[in-house]
Amino acid sequence: MEEKINALKQELEAEAGQVRSKEELSAFWQKYLGKNGSIPALMKGLRDVPKEDRPAAGKTINEFKVWAEARYQELNAEIERIELEARNKSEQVDITMPGTVRPMGSLHPITLVKNQIIDVFSGMGFEIYEGPEIEDDDHNFTRLNVPKNHPARDMQDTFYVAEDIVLRTQTSGGQIRVMDREKPPIKVLVPGRVFRSDSDATHSPMFHQMEGLVVDKGITLCDLQGMLDKFVQALFGPEVKTRLRPSYFPFTEPSVEVDVSCFECGGKGCPLCKHTGWIEVLGAGVVHHSVLENCGIDPNVYSGFAFGIGIERIAMLKYGINNIGLMFENDLRFLKQFND
């Protein structure tokens, strides 16, 4: 037994000198100390040793096993040291080299304005809801009091995905979904991308909209104007005022266009406001009783107002951008202007 152990020890020591990696160390363990390794095989061979010699043989094998395990730990520590040195060498930094300057990024102007609008209205207690961009005809048109063949559909030149399935032309469908699942009082803001067949310096076939809805008892246009005053003052300055002009939208009655006093000239007249002193910013109105009925809300008990804001338009006014296409071209010369 001692001769066998001495031979195995010499073999083990010779192989230990060849171990240079974690993989080789693992193979070394399996060969000598693993469940089916050479040293456990010695223990199994004790049954062939005469009974009176087994205690001494077992002691010798255990001492050899302890030595082999200690040798394995030495190899493990040495390999870890070698790998650490190699890693440190590869990760060395030459402190005499100039530092690498990482350019500071920024949010896109659309995102900046979207966040500012959400901050204002969430401070007034509005919840935020983002509906699907692919919408069915029922939510996008019919339940908003725009039935098939209604002339208002022509103004939106819809992108159809399939029959009665469209890329939404407005985020108003999200308002319908909220009124379906919630009962008044409701205060919700619905931001998102919308799609229409427009493309010129002030329009894009894809743009971002933010629509708001309030439904409760006793809601009037006065509540709408008071809320919008707070909104435009937060966005454009404390001196800005709003003006409501009669308009038409099929889902509100009465409907209004909302102007703000020019924040560039203070209402005196300038190129920005086309020398009128006022700038149109959004459309709004009192929610049509048919829209409330379509959502199971009694218009004799509840009323509400809704408004829609084009985020690109607000960004163009706020930052003096004269072409909506600049916002979608990924031109760093344009985007770097918004690093504040």
Name the strand (E) or helix (H) holding 139.
helix 137-140
- Number of folded domains in the chain? 2
> Above 70 in pLDDT, residue 203?
no
Q: Which of 34, 60, 90 is the last residue of a domain?
A: 90
* Residue 53 structural domain: 2-90
Pair 264, 124 in one domain:
yes
Pair 215, 171 in one domain:
yes
Orientation angle between helical segments 2-16 and 22-32, nearest 10 degrees? 170
Which DSSP string do the residues of 285-317 spell out, in sequence order? EEEPHHHHHHTT--TTT-EEEEEEEEHHHHHHH
Average pLDDT, the chain: 87
Summarised one tens digit per residue, pLDDT across range 179-190 is 999 999 999 999
Orientation angle between helical segments 109-122 and 221-236, nearest 10 degrees? 130
28-42, 149-163, 253-267, 306-320, range with the lowest pLDDT: 149-163
Pair 62, 125 in one domain:
no
Summarised one tens digit per residue, pLDDT across range 21-50 is 888 889 988 888 888 888 888 888 777 778
Band of pLDDT at residue 174, cut at 50, 70 and 90: very high
- CA 88 to chain CA centroid, Å, is 37
Summarised one tens digit per residue, pLDDT across range 134-151 is 999 899 888 988 877 766
Instruction: Kindly state whether residue 97 falls inside one of the protein's structural domains.
Output: no
Structure tokens belonging to residue 225:
């104007």
Q: Which of 42, 59, 90 is the last residue of a domain?
A: 90
Amino acid 201: pLDDT? 57
Instruction: Tell whether 13 is in a known binding site.
Output: no
Instruction: Kindly state whether residue 99 falls inside one of the protein's structural domains.
Output: no
Q: What percent of the chain has pLDDT over 70?
A: 95
Question: 24 by DSSP, 3-state: which?
Answer: helix
Amino acid 100: pLDDT? 80
Band of pLDDT at residue 307, cut at 50, 70 and 90: very high
Asked whether the whole model's pTM tops 0.75, one would answer no
Structure tokens belonging to residue 214:
């309030």
